[in-house]
Structure 1
Amino acid sequence: MKSFGIYTLANDAVYDQLVALLNSIEVNVGEDIPVYVIPYNQQLDLVKQELKSRKNVKLFEDWEAIHRWDNFVNQLWDAHPRANESKLTRPGWYKGFVHRKFAAFNGEFDRFVFYDADSLAMKPIDDIFEKLDTYDLVFNDWEHAKPREKTQINLDIIESAMQVTEADLRPKIHCDSFFGSKRLLFGGKDLDILKEQWIEKRQFEWLRESSWWSSSGLFGYITLYGDPKIFNFTLSPNVEDRTGNCANADPFVNINNVLYNQDGLKPIHRIHYMSYSSRDFARLCQGEDVNIDYRDEFLYYRFLKEPERKPKQLKSPGVMSQMNRLLQKSGKKLQRLLS
């Protein structure tokens, strides 16, 4: 096994974002750190072509591990009382493959950091690997600060079931867009036990109904099992560790194409473009004037190795293009409802 490395999850739909992320990792984390790209699905032609040019980046091809997580998550979803409801009440990404990121727990690295593909790495991650000397899971997000009624895990039910307080649970609340952990922290037997508890003890109630289909919500549920030791940089006693990370929520300062928290110029681990679609980024990279916060930083890393392809000027889409997109979006929504 290899001592440490990075994982991300991607397919051709997020090609532009993947390229930008890989370039940012190479520049800001280290050019020699190994990276594995976990396949979201089989649409990988562009991804495979890109990886040919990167000596330290490979496709994760342990399909046994991937399908183990597919089966586990699908069985949890199918056992939920809402699984047979009308498709009108489900989000479009229900039964997608975002959960395949958790195959990282079955990968080659003894210690690893996972980045969502819609991110840019902004600094080395030595501090995360150091924390893994003491902790099992390391995060850097603000999910724990959400109002009680907005958390993905249901605090009322879990407090009663586990006989703990809200203060006990708050440090355990996190998302799944960026985390560090260890190989086999959750093994096959753990998943079997979790599935049994989810079904027989109705622990699906531990998630709010608004997030029962969410990979992030499921990860929150999973990481309550076995009481792993969790560290979140946003809860660090060191104020220098506490920074923002969301492109559309936090103010940053650009210094030589590296972003810092505006308050105190504290270095951030990554910027996360969580509220923008892959189509937004594809159009931006084709020269369209798309409203994305910190888009100049994204374009810098996306075209770092091919600056001649970087759009010289961004232009607004024409009226016909906007109408066609609206029609296509409506048609896809109707098709999903009827399928």
Structure 2
Amino acid sequence: MKNGIYTLANDVVYDQLVALLNSIEVNAGKDIPVCVIAYNDQVDKVKEEVASRKNVTLLENPEIFARWEEFSLQVWQSHPTAIKLWQEQGIKKFYRVGENRRYCAFDSDSLFEKFIYLDADTLVMQPLDFIFEQLENQDFVVYDFQYKDPTHIFNLKSSKLLEIFTQQQIDSEIFCSGFYASKRGMFLAEQRDWLLSRLNEGESDVLYMSAPNQSVLNYMRMRTNTSFYNFALNLPPQEATGNSVTSEHFEVKDGIVYDKGNRLTYIHYIGLSSKLFNRVCEGENIIFPYRDIFLHYRYLHEPEKHPQFNSKPKAYDAPPSFTTRVLRKLGIPTGV
């Protein structure tokens, strides 16, 4: 297939996946192919959802995932402390193993010639043709403002960082891995071997352990000098839109989110736990940013299942009550 969308999901993010698929159907096109990559084996609900949609498929092939898992393991084995620290925390292999499965989209035998990857905690707000069109000129396309905060991409304390990349690159080329577009045939085995050789010579010190796959992907793209385009840096300031729910000034109208009159490309519920969405869908009246737009798309085809909130609303980031604090101190589960 020429163009398509990938996402990564399991049953833990089922509600978010349904909302994302509905937003793609309404705002990007009901016929655009979507492939859900299985985060792990916990995908029973995902399978049912995929089966109900003619344009959506599920990828759960361990052999395809294995080469990227092995590559990622070797990446972090090259790091001076990562594996040891994760083992001390009870983490097997390396942190967030399932996330690296998304990189099978780069394989030369992958499903789509050109693709957009979206995290499951995003909603599409407009057609994505302009993203695919930009891939005619560049091999990697993004649309975000992560370059303003490199602390979640690289280890800024590493003395190696400015030996490998220029300050200008760090200030303009990093991106959030929740949304990016690229092509099949990128980062093939020979390139991966070269990257591992560089990492084993000490460059792994620049990687950021708390967001391992995001850090590695940024390193791979920048280190191979893959051609790159960020709409946030190239659009006129009056046209560029944000995407994060941390922005409080967005306006919502008729199921679409706008930034100063401009339609967002996508909205990313970054930093909000999947448990929060699940609890709201179960009927807990928890308020979080742009909750209504999430619920709009989650229950677009099932309005009768929309939760009815009968309790007093509480903020998602409200401090725990006195009772909850006491129970926690006593080691008694609170369910929160």
TM-score, normalised on structure 2? 0.86
Residue among 153, 160, 166 paired with 1:157: 160
Is 2:244–2:268's contact at 8 Å kept on the other side of the alignment? yes
Residue 203 of structure 1: aligned partner: 203
Residue 335 of structure 1: aligned partner: none
Is 1:119–1:272's contact at 8 Å kept on the other side of the alignment? yes
Q: In the alignment, does 2:261 pair up with 1:258?
A: no
Query: What is the distance in 2 between the residues matched to 1:22 and 1:257?
Result: 14
CA offsets 1:190-243 (integer angstroms, 9 cap, x no match): 2122112211x11102225x54x6211111111113211111111014335421
Matching residue's letter, 1:224 = M
Within 5 Å, which residues of 2 pair with 1:1-339?
A: 2-82=1-81, 83-85=83-85, 94-106=95-107, 107-146=110-149, 151-152=153-154, 154=156, 157-162=160-165, 165-199=166-200, 201-208=201-208, 211=210, 214-261=212-259, 263=260, 265-315=261-311
Instruction: Give the C-alpha shift of residue 257 in structure 1.
Output: 0.6
Is 1:246–1:274's contact at 8 Å kept on the other side of the alignment? yes
Matching residue's letter, 2:280 = L
Query: What is the distance in 2 between the residues matched to 1:130 and 1:70?
Result: 31
CA offsets 1:127-178 (integer angstroms, 9 cap, x no match): 10111011111111111112x666525486333235xx31244222112100
Instruction: Give the C-alpha shift of residue 331 in structure 1.
Output: 9.0
Query: What is the distance in 1 between the residues matched to 2:222 and 2:27?
Result: 32
Query: What is the distance in 1 between the residues matched to 2:86 and 2:217?
Result: 25
Question: Against the structure 1 CA distance between its residues 56 and 238, is the aligned structure 2 distance closer, same or farther, given a 3 Å change threshold?
Answer: same
Query: What is the distance in 2 between the residues matched to 1:172 and 1:305?
Result: 39
Is 2:20–2:297's contact at 8 Å kept on the other side of the alignment? yes
Query: What is the distance in 2 between the residues matched to 1:314 and 1:187?
Result: 54
CA offsets 1:222-268 (integer angstroms, 9 cap, x no match): 1113211111111014335421111123421112110011x2x1111
Query: What is the distance in 1 between the residues matched to 2:122 and 2:86?
Result: 33
TM-score, normalised on structure 1? 0.86
Question: Against the structure 1 CA distance between its residues 152 and 316, is the aligned structure 2 distance closer, same or farther, given a 3 Å change threshold?
Answer: farther
Matching residue's letter, 1:173 = I
Instruction: Give the C-alpha shift of residue 278 in structure 1.
Output: 1.1
Is 2:86–2:95's contact at 8 Å kept on the other side of the alignment? no
SS at match of 2:204: helix
Query: What is the distance in 1 between the residues matched to 2:188 and 2:61?
Result: 15
Uncovered stretches (5+) of structure 1, i.e. residues with no partner:
333-339
Instruction: Give the C-alpha shift of residue 31 in structure 1.
Output: 0.2
Query: What is the distance in 1 between the residues matched to 2:85 and 2:152?
Result: 23
Question: Against the structure 1 CA distance between its residues 151 and 71, is the aligned structure 2 distance closer, same or farther, given a 3 Å change threshold?
Answer: closer
Question: Against the structure 1 CA distance between its residues 9 and 149, is the aligned structure 2 distance closer, same or farther, given a 3 Å change threshold?
Answer: closer
In the alignment of these two chains, the number of paired residues is 319
